[in-house]
């Protein structure tokens, strides 16, 4: 039995919407605007799948805690005295008060601010005053939340029966992440941006670079726009040459990086499992070092075991809601957390080596400028799309078979996951 009480929604209506989804096309308006579909998404997707929410280095010491809101849910992540990281629902077992405010805290125990019920870092209720003799503290511990560190990236699942393919994901992806040694990083900067669009528009936006050339002048300095697909028949001779050059570079880079111990080749499981994911190490343009305006490393102190600065950008995506870029000098991680049918929080964190010193080893502006600009641009695109799909005159159009194939895969995954839950 699931222990969470989700708001009700019209299951039949959502089922009908999925049933008539036209493959290769954007979704109907209701998927982006209907509160019932949003509740279905929260129930079937966000409360039953693994969600990337934080980095292990955010709770480095016993007593370090981090509260993360996921919709109306909230989770406390805390490192215990035994060095284990655990997660609990951020809800007191007495009258339900939040134990910790969103964000980081340092705690000895988890003490409820209301009537001071006191929980250990393992969730057990240690102390509750005035409750009398019949009261059994062992029945009133904090409710645990499934937590999994994948190479230092923390995933939670709000369900009691989390998808077990997280094991396979970890097995496959950890070798890719390992050289960057995320456990020895530090959050240099964190930015929360509310995008005024449904979370699926945020994800669709993230799963293609069709919009990069017209919209991301900064990002396309280090990033090859051709890396995410193009229509070969439409290319001018100059374009064909560029595409061919990119493909050659990608293959030679892969060979060179793998020889140097950096797994690089594409792994793609976007639509064949609950915990969809994709990874590949991609060459960067220019100096090829980092997603910066001059394509050179933003931080002097290299991560982990990587000594060749020009290690490209390892991209790692998960479904439903995260994407990550890992470079030799820094890492950028993103998570998309739905607020309601028309608003999504995108949380971006920039990680550097844990000993890197701001102003000495890196300049914060240089480190963050590309993704701050790119996020802002994407937020604008998501907002004008949310407005458009809410227009009664909107009709879903076709995805490009070349540049939007991964958007379609996201949608196939999404429809399958809704079906798996709603029947």
Q: Where do contacts with a copy of itself occur on this chain (CB under 8 A)?
A: 3-6, 26, 28-29, 47, 72-74, 89-98, 101, 113-116, 129-133, 135, 140, 143, 158, 204, 210-211, 213-215, 229-231, 233-234, 380-381, 384-385, 387-403
* Pair type for strands 322-326 and 267-269: unpaired
Q: Which is nearer to ligand FES, 116 or 194 (CB)?
A: 116
Which one of the spans 6-14, 184-192, 343-351, 378-386 is the region binding Fe ion (CB under 5 A)?
378-386
CB of 117: closest distance to ligand FES in angstroms?
4
Kindly state the smallest distance separating residue 128's Cβ from ligand FES, in Å: 7
The full DSSP string for 86-152 is EEEES--TTT---SS-SEEEE-SSEE-TTT--EE-TTS-EEE-TT--TT--GGGSPPPEEEEEEETT
Six-digit token string for 394: 């909107």
Residue whose token pair is 């639509």: 271
Taking CB under 6 A as the rule, does residue 309 contact ligand FES? no
Among a copy of itself, Fe ion, ligand FES, none, the one that 118 touches (CB under a kind-dependent 5 to 8 A) is none
Report the nearest approach of ligand FES to the CB of residue 34 (Å). Answer: 20
Per-position DSSP letters for 229-256, written without gaps between them: ---GGG--HHHHHHHHHHHHHHHHHHHH
- Rounded Cα gap, residues 362 and 313, in angstroms: 18
Q: With 0-12 CB in 10 A as exposed, 13-18 as middle and 19+ as buried, what is 96?
A: exposed
For ligand FES, give the closer residue by CB, 96 or 392: 96
Angle formed by the axes of helices 199-206 and 364-389, nearest 10° = 120
Q: Give whichever of 76 and 297 is closer to a copy of itself, judged by the CB atom.
A: 76
Q: Binders of ligand FES among 98-137, rule CB under 6 A? A: 112, 114-117
378 binds Fe ion per the rule CB under 5 A: yes
Complex with a copy of itself: residue 228 or 277, whichever CB lies closer: 228
Tell me the C-alpha distance between 314 and 214, whole Å.
24
Burial of 412 (0-12, 13-18, 19+ CB in 10 A): middle
**How far apart are CB 237 and a copy of itself at their closest, in Å?**
16
| Nearest of 409, 342, 54, 14 to residue 199 by alpha carbon | 342
**CA geometry: angle 243, 379, 274, nearest 5 deg:** 75
Nearest distance in Å: CB 381, a copy of itself: 5
Tokens of 286: 């220019």
In the complex, minimum distance from the CB of residue 262 to ligand FES, in angstroms, rounded to a whole number: 35
CB of 280 to ligand FES, least distance (A): 24
Identity of the residue, 161 or 305, whose beta carbon is nearer to a copy of itself in the bound complex: 161
- Please, what is the minimum distance in Å from the beta carbon of residue 211 to a copy of itself? 5
Does residue 338 sit in helix, strand or coil? strand
CA angle 26, 30, 35 (to 5 degrees): 135
- Which residue, 111 or 422, is less far from ligand FES as judged by CB? 111
Q: Which residues have CB under 8 Å from 102's CB, separation 6+?
A: 67, 68, 69, 74
Q: How far is the CB of 184 from a copy of itself (least distance, A)?
A: 33
Residues 134-153 binding ligand FES (CB under 6 A) are none
Which C-beta is closer to ligand FES: that of 35 or that of 398?
398
- Can you tell me which of 4, 13, 16, 97 binds ligand FES, judged by CB under 6 A? 97
Residue number with CB closer to ligand FES (140 or 300): 140
Q: Is residue 95 at the binding interface for ligand FES, with CB under 6 A as the rule?
A: yes
The interface partner of residue 23, options being ligand FES, Fe ion, a copy of itself, none and the CB cut-off 5 to 8 Å by kind, is none
Compose the 74-93 pattern: x for residues touching ligand FES by CB under 6 A, - for all others.
------------------x-
- CB-facing half-sphere around the CA of 86: CA atoms within 13 A: 19
In this structure, which long-range contacts are made by residues 360-366, counting pairs with CB atoms below 8 Å and at least 24 apart in sequence? 361/299, 361/300, 361/301, 362/188, 362/298, 362/299, 362/300, 362/301, 362/329, 362/330, 363/298, 364/188, 364/189, 366/292, 366/293, 366/298
CB nearest Fe ion: which residue? 378
Could you say which of ligand FES, Fe ion, a copy of itself, none residue 378 binds, taking C-beta under 5 to 8 angstroms by partner kind?
A: Fe ion
Joined together, the tokens standing for residue 166 give 């997280």
Angstrom distance (rounded) from CA 215 to CA 208: 12
378 vs 404, beta carbon nearer Fe ion: 378
Closest CB 212 distance from Fe ion, rounded Å? 6
Kindly tell me which of 46 and 210 has the beta carbon lying closer to ligand FES.
Answer: 210
Instruction: List Cβ neighbours of 125 (8 Å cut-off, separation of 6 or more).
Output: 93, 117, 118, 119, 137, 138, 140, 141, 142
User: Which residues would be at the binding site for ligand FES (CB under 6 A)?
Assistant: 92, 94-97, 112, 114-117
User: Which residues would be at the binding site for Fe ion (CB under 5 A)?
Assistant: 378
């Amino acid at each position: 039995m699931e222990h969470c009480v989700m708001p009700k929604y019209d299951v039949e209506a959502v089922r009908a919407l999925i049933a008539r989804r036209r493959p290769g096309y954007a979704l109907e308006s209701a998927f982006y605007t209907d509160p019932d579909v949003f509740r279905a998404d929260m129930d079937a997707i966000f409360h039953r799948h693994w969600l990337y929410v934080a980095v292990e280095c955010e709770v480095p010491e016993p007593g370090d805690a981090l509260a993360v809101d996921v919709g109306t849910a909230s989770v406390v992540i805390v490192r215990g005295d035994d060095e284990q990281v655990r997660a609990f629902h951020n809800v007191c077992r007495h009258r339900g008060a939040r134990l910790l405010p969103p964000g980081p805290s340092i705690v000895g125990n988890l003490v409820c601010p209301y009537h001071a019920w006191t929980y250990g870092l393992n969730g057990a209720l240690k102390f509750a005053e005035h409750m009398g003799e019949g009261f059994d503290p062992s029945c009133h511990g904090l409710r645990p939340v499934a937590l999994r560190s994948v190479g230092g990236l923390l995933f939670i699942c709000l369900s009691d029966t989390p998808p077990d393919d997280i094991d396979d994901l970890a097995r496959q992806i950890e070798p890719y992440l390992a050289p960057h040694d995320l456990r020895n990083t530090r959050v240099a900067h964190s930015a929360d941006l509310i995008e005024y669009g449904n979370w699926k528009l945020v994800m669709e936006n993230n799963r293609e670079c069709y919009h990069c050339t017209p919209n991301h002048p900064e990002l396309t300095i280090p990033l090859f726009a051709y890396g995410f697909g193009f229509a070969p028949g439409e290319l001018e001779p100059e374009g064909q040459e560029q595409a061919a050059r990119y493909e050659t570079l990608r293959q030679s880079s892969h060979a060179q990086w793998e020889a140097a111990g950096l797994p690089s080749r594409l792994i793609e499981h976007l639509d064949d499992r609950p915990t969809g994911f994709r990874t590949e190490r991609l060459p960067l343009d220019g100096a090829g070092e980092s997603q910066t305006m001059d394509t050179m490393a933003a931080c002097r102190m290299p991560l982990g075991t990587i000594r060749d600065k020009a290690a490209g950008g390892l991209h790692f995506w998960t479904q439903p809601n995260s994407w990550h870029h890992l470079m030799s000098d820094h890492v950028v991680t993103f998570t998309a957390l739905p607020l309601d049918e028309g608003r999504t929080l995108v949380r971006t964190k920039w990680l550097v080596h844990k000993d890197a010193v701001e102003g000495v080893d890196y300049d914060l502006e240089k480190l963050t400028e590309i993704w701050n600009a790119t996020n802002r641009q994407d937020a604008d695109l998501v907002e004008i799309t949310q407005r458009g799909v809410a227009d009664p005159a909107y009709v879903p159009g076709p995805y490009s078979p070349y540049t939007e194939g991964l958007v379609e895969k996201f949608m196939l995954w999404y429809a399958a996951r809704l079906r798996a839950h709603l029947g």
